[in-house]
Structure 1
Amino acid sequence: MYRETTSALVGGAVLWWSTAPPGATPVRVLPDGCMDLIWSERHGLLVAGPDTAAQVGTATGERYVGLRFPPGTGPAVFGVPAYELRDQRVPLTALWSDARTRELDERAAYADHPERLLESVAAARLGDAGGPDPIARTLVARLGAGADVAGTAADFGLGPRQLHRRSRALFGYGPKTLARILRMQRALALLRTGVPAADTAVRTGYADQPHLSREIRALAGVPPRDLIT
């Protein structure tokens, strides 16, 4: 139903394939700070913006192929600030409204390997843009490791408001929201390896296990146990 693999496009990019037969358990997609270029057999080429809460899809049997970009890379591909696409799924033609984009839609529909087309399009766009903003990777690494926002802003020579604006453009939301999302992802990764919840809370900077549970439920819509079984 779902599989993924590392893409050769850019460090951290992921190719994924999904087909859920009608009646299957709905898919819960958690916020991760990423943006995706997606081909849907029913809707063509789509763009998935960064989410602030879990998106729950209905299982219809539709086939999807996607290319998920590392946090902060999507704006260089799509040519718009991430906040303009926050919590949205839009046709690619809404962003690139020219004949070539419509041609891409048709090519993807008849391609044996749509993922290759997605990578080719993204590589060309990244090349034209000169690559993603170099601050993105470092910012994700620092906030993902638990660094505080004020100290991170100072390290980049930015004021808190400047960092907030830069973060919204790159990730769709401010650095505090990004840090919450990255911490949730880090905590879930530990829980899935069998680390007890209390230890996970300590290792990922939550005040205690109840705090961890509340935060994950707020972002994912369900308690941690529903995400690790």
Structure 2
Amino acid sequence: MYRERPAGFARAVLWTSTTAAGAAPTRVLPDGCLDLLWSSRGGLLVAGPDRTAYLSGGGPAERWVGLRLPPGTGPAVFGVPAVELRDRRVPLGDLWPARDVARLAERAEAVPAAVLAEVAVARLRAAGGPDPLGARVAAALSAGAGVAATAAETGLDPRALHRRCRHLFGYGPKTLARILRMRRALALARADTPLAEVAARCGFADQAHLTRDVRDLAGVPPTALLPPRPV
């Protein structure tokens, strides 16, 4: 069972998930985001930006509450470059003072969503907000702009853009562009757009190119990620 809703600040999203013991793992697709998590078994954690799909669950019953920070926002909250968290799930205590995390964990047992949002808002305020470059780069790449055009639009040379992207998103602009394009393609496909048309609209060479890219990033072809069609 999975639900999500707007967190009410910085385009962040609060989500909840409950998994039964022994349930099949859930495939979490890469999205360029960092998440602040509370787990009924693991306490407070940070999920870094993934390059490929992450399989969650498959073990004992567990309840999750998460705060998904939009691409480029995580470093301002956690105080570390996103690349240091890439493809990792780490205890929050590895990043922040243990005493502070222990107090947060105690409060989160009762109202995890409120605590996650409260601490993220406070950290963002203390940092002066997220780096505005993150939203500009993510918006340009989401709209299909190339890396060179994005660098020109932001006033950075390609090497500087690559360095800033690793800090903000955990990987360079080419990888982020592939991930955002995959998510844009899947959104169209889930709205019943034929895959050949999806490929053309999202800038893939053809449907086979779309299938290869989704398989590389998600571990399965796009058809495996779409809801079953009515018989």
User: Which residue does the alignment assign to 2:188?
Assistant: 190
User: Which residue does the alignment assign to 1:201?
Assistant: 199
Is the contact between residue 211 and residue 221 of structure 2 (CA under 8 Å) also seen in structure 1?
A: yes
Q: How does 1:5-20 map to 2 (within 5 A)?
A: 5-11=5-11, 13-20=12-19
Q: Which letter maps to 1:8?
A: G
Instruction: Give the Å deviation of 1:38.
Output: 0.3
- State the Cα deviation string for residues 171-202 of structure 1 (Å, max 9, x = none): 00000000000000000000001000000000
User: Which residue does the alignment assign to 2:152?
Assistant: 154
Distance 2:149 2:17 in 1: 40
Q: Match of 1:67, SS?
A: strand
Distance 1:122 1:84 in 2: 19
Instruction: Give the Å deviation of 1:25.
Output: 2.4
User: Which residue does the alignment assign to 1:66?
Assistant: 66
Unaligned ranges ≥5, structure 2: none
Is the contact between residue 53 and residue 218 of structure 2 (CA under 8 Å) also seen in structure 1?
A: yes
Instruction: Give the Å deviation of 1:61.
Output: 1.4
User: Which residue does the alignment assign to 2:38?
Assistant: 39
Instruction: Give the Å deviation of 1:98.
Output: 3.5
- State the Cα deviation string for residues 115-144 of structure 1 (Å, max 9, x = none): 000000000000000000001111111011
1:86 maps to 2:86: yes
Q: TM-score, normalised by structure 1?
A: 0.97
Q: Which letter maps to 1:43?
A: G
Distance 2:226 2:23 in 1: 18
Distance 1:124 1:75 in 2: 14
Q: Which letter maps to 1:125?
A: R
Q: Which letter maps to 1:175?
A: P
1:25 maps to 2:14: no
Distance 2:154 2:72 in 1: 16
Q: Choose the corresponding residue for 1:143, options 127, 141, 158.
A: 141
Q: Which letter maps to 1:108?
A: A
Q: Match of 1:47, SS?
A: strand
Distance 2:57 2:126 in 1: 36
Q: Which letter maps to 2:99?
A: A
Q: Match of 1:45, SS?
A: strand
Distance 1:9 1:193 in 2: 27
Q: Which letter maps to 1:40?
A: S
- State the Cα deviation string for residues 36-75 of structure 1 (Å, max 9, x = none): 0000011110000000000011233100000000000000
Q: Match of 2:180, SS?
A: helix
Distance 2:24 2:161 in 1: 39
Distance 2:199 2:172 in 1: 23
Is the contact between residue 136 and residue 154 of structure 2 (CA under 8 Å) also seen in structure 1?
A: no
Distance 2:40 2:30 in 1: 24
Unaligned ranges ≥5, structure 1: none
Instruction: Give the Å deviation of 1:154.
Output: 1.7
Is the contact between residue 189 and residue 195 of structure 2 (CA under 8 Å) also seen in structure 1?
A: yes
Moved more, 2-11 or 28-37: 2-11
Q: TM-score, normalised by structure 2?
A: 0.96
Moved more, 121-130 or 100-109: 100-109
Q: Which letter maps to 1:29?
A: V
User: Which residue does the alignment assign to 2:127?
Assistant: 129
Q: Which letter maps to 1:19?
A: T
Q: Match of 1:51, SS?
A: coil
